[in-house]
Structure 1
Amino acid sequence: MQNQDGQPAEPETETISSLPTSEVNDWANYRDDEVMQQHSAIQAEEAGKIPFVGDKEPLSSLAEEYKSGNPILLEKIKVLTEQYAAIRRTRGDGNCFFRSFMFAYLEHILESQDRAEIDRITVNVEQCRKTLLSLGYAEFTFEDFFSLFLEQLESVLSGKEACISHEELVQRSRDQSVSDYVVMFFRFITSGEIRKRLEFYEPFIQGLSNTSVEQFCKSSVEPMGEESDHVHITALSDALGVPIRIVYLDRSHDDKGSVSVNHHDFTPAAHEVTDANTGGAVALEPFITLLYRPGHYDILYPK
């Protein structure tokens, strides 16, 4: 997994999820060998054992996982505990970003009961449907995935006849027939967003994989089990209009040895508001926070 970015093709409409050209290769900084090796060692074993979405755990469980690792990692986990209370793990099967986003978003709706947000995202989903049709996708190839996602949205609203509890949301997220369909929904709209904005994404994709946008979508976005990187996150956030915060766990530190935990907010322009004092655009705080370790995403819960 690598992070690629560059200058936007249409700066007047670009979002703050874009990074300067100088940071095109920064994703590689997070391919920390020790973190990668340690995670890879547990990934193969855990992938088949843990459910698609695990139980919420105290953040101390993360420290326990790295207790024999590099001290910088343990120090960073201590820093994380100042802002975050818990972690919810997802299965390391290549779909962890989309599954993490899926559960975190539906959980947010279940807890906030934000009808306006459901109405807003439903409009975006319909636009995504039209985008896929305009790109030549046959509707039968994606309609079931779209329908199931919209059903899940409605199911987490109280007052509905089929309203589900938090426990039922967890169980549904562990049901492969439901979970995989929602993942495929996200993969289709991510692919559609990338293809729709080909000129913007093309430089990133060529730097990332040296392939065409179409081939990248066919081989690295739409198939189940293909891992996600900066391009996928940017496209999903922009397509749905949902801000996402990614927190990075790596071994970086400054020249004095001080450590801090870096994060990046993917905030679509649709979620910017005008500051009453300055008149400038202000990005809304993301309500979904994911922890990124090389090759894997989990859900983080702020205090």
Structure 2
Amino acid sequence: MQNQDGHVVESGTETITSTKASEIEDWANFRDDDILQQQSAIQAEEAGKIPFVGDKEPLSSLAAEYKSGNPILVEKINVLTEQYAAIRRTRGDGNCFFRSFMFAYLEHILQTQDRAEVDRITANVEQCRKTLLSLGYAEFTFEDFFALFLEQLESVLSGTEASISHDELVQRSRDQSISDYVVMFFRFITSGEIRKRSEFFEPFVQGLTNTSVEQFCKSSVEPMGEESDHVHITALSDALGVPIRIVYLDRSCDDKGSVSVNHHDFTPAACQVTNANSCATQAAKPFINLLYRPGHYDILYPK
């Protein structure tokens, strides 16, 4: 390129070259983890538009969601409608398993007014508190979470000034200051159970993360927003003595192409050992029913 005097001008080319090099360098520095962080931020923003716990919906709403999607999923939802009547969605923020369990359990107590169950789980919670102390946790790190859960548990029993209605339970479950505290209560319970029985859980933990049990609890159980797997569910079910049914909605089918909906019942270890009548009855029919879609849990309501 020449100027009006006919002299060659190279600065513009240098500027362009320099700009392109800078852009390439910037792009090279934009690594995979940066992209993942950006995706996570977008997902978190979208998740924030959904309540922690949604309204109860007919299962047909789930069918409508997949109407133009994978035909196997549509067929499986049709199979689900034979046993289940409704779904209650929870926010997909990594806490959906604990949040779903929290609401389903408290709702069960509210509806059944099962005071014997409240006494039983209160005793289990006390044992969990002692477990955490024996493992070296300072009580101040978890006592507020425990106190709030027990407060919510008492509130769903009628006959006191603190008793709440079903609508109030829904609103409390959507209150972050309450909901997150109860989620943290369950995370501490789960972590304590895994650490207490580290030899039992170690093979499963290493199969998932190839880390130690202690590191797994620190990085994948106790922090808010960390997703739950079968290890978390087993530990929580065992610690509290509550059987949980997980119904799986995925694209799997058998060798012949037949479609069925699989589920797994997490039976508390104490029930397996004692085979007590009450445990056997509960294990045969868990009152906590959750729907699992890859990476997410919602609450299911049997017919």
Category of TM-score, reference length = shorter chain: 0.7 to 0.9
Aligned residue number for residue 146 of structure 1: 146
Q: Give 1:274 shift.
A: 5.2
Using the alignment, how far apart are the partners of 1:51 and 1:182 within structure 2? 16
Structure 2 CA distance for partners of 1:165 and 1:193, relative to 1, 3 Å: same
Distance 1:234 1:151, change over 3 A: same
How much does 1:117 deviate? 0.2
The corresponding residue for 2:237 is 237
Q: Which runs of 5+ in 2 are unaligned?
A: 1-39
1:220 aligns with 2:220: yes
Quote how far apart the aligned CAs of 1:136 are.
0.2
Pairwise mapping of residues 1-303 of structure 1 onto structure 2 (< 5 A)?
46-271=46-271, 283-303=283-303
SS in 2 for 1:289: strand
For these two proteins, the number of residue pairs brought into alignment is: 259
- The amino acid across from 1:196 in the alignment is K
Distance in 2 between residues matched to 1:44 and 1:291, nearest whole Å: 21
Q: Deviations over 1:158-214 (max 9, x none)?
A: 111110000000000000000000000000010000000010001111111010000
SS in 2 for 1:125: helix
Partner of 1:7: none
Larger Rg: 2
Point out the structure with the larger helix share.
Answer: 2
Task: Tell me the alpha carbon deviations over residues 269-291 of structure 1, each in whole angstroms, 9 at most, x when there is no partner.
Answer: 33457599xxxx67341000000
Retained in 2: the 8 A contact 1:194–1:213?
yes
Runs of 4 or more consecutive aligned structure 1 residues displaced over 2 Å after TM superposition: 42-46, 269-276, 281-284
User: Is the 8 Å Cα contact of residues 128 and 189 (structure 1) preserved in structure 2?
Assistant: yes
Instruction: Report the AA paired with residue 106 of structure 1.
Output: L
Distance in 2 between residues matched to 1:218 and 1:45, nearest whole Å: 25
Say which SS state the counterpart of residue 106 (structure 1) adopts.
Answer: helix
CA RMSD of aligned residues (A): 1.7
1:255 Cα deviation (Å)?
2.3
Structure 2: distance between partners of 1:284 and 1:158? 28
Identity %: 90
1:102 is paired with a residue whose SS is helix
CA distance in 2, matches of 1:139, 1:239: 18
Normalised to the residue count of structure 2, the TM-score between the two structures is 0.82
Q: What are the Cα deviations for residues 202-254 of structure 1, in whole angstroms up to 9, with x where unaligned? A: 11111110100000000000000000000000000000000000000011112
Deviation at 1:45, TM superposition (A): 6.4
Aligned partners of 1:187 and 1:260: how far apart in 2?
A: 32
Closer, same or farther: CA 193–274 of 1 in aligned 2, 3 Å: closer
Q: Is the 8 A contact 1:290 1:299 kept in 2?
A: yes
Q: 1:212 to 1:274 in 2, by over 3 A?
A: closer
Query: Higher RCO, 1 or 2 (CA under 8 Å, sep at least 6)?
Result: 1
AA partner of residue 68 (structure 2): S
User: Scaled by the length of structure 1, what TM-score is found?
Assistant: 0.82
Equivalent pair of 1:46/1:91 in contact (CA under 8 Å): no
